Structure 1
Amino acid sequence: MMKILALTLTVFVILSPSFASPTKVALGAACDAKQLQPCLAAITGGGQPSGDCCAKLKEQQPCLCGFSKNPAFAQYVSSPNSRKVVSACGVPYPSC
């Protein structure tokens, strides 16, 4: 019984680094709505998004559903202009 436990523990320790790497990569950038500030003028005014806006939007893409559920940001994510900005940047609109 001790040999099986030791073998299992050894295999787990050897494989641990391979499990840690994808987790770090999968997490990506932290969700921070402030990062989307370059998009605010295009969303509120209906203009063309800047390159900086599109870059930040692509970084924060995994966070858009979370932003849409936050009352402080929901109006910006669900506005017709935000759909135009997202589309102009080549980012799929989130379906949450």
Structure 2
Amino acid sequence: MATPLEPNYVLASDEFEKDKRLDNISDYQKLVGKLIYLTLTRFDISYSVQCLCQYMRDPLESHAKEAFRGKCLGSRRSVSGYCLFLGGSLISWKSKKQPTVS
């Protein structure tokens, strides 16, 4: 996969026949919590995790599938980036996955 969450992909917020609400949301919350922790070192999944966090109270099965997809990222491409600090505080950062395999 090129990115953890495809650009312009919209997560469904309404339940329908093929996408039911999760019975046990605590498993989803634990998984997203682990992904939040992972963003400390994997800046490239920050956007995906932020999108999944919006559904912590009422997740659908499709949200759980996207969260599990984020957990299973196994890319061999390098990530380069920078962090901009003012004093001791982080004020900006950027990361980019390299287009070629290292």
| TM-score, normalized by the shorter chain, greater than 0.5 | no
Structure with greater strand percent: 2
Q: Identify which of structures 1 and 2 has the higher relative contact order when contacts are C-alpha pairs closer than 8 Å and 6+ apart.
A: 2
TM-score, L = length of structure 2: 0.28
- Larger-Rg structure: 1
TM-score, L = length of structure 1: 0.29
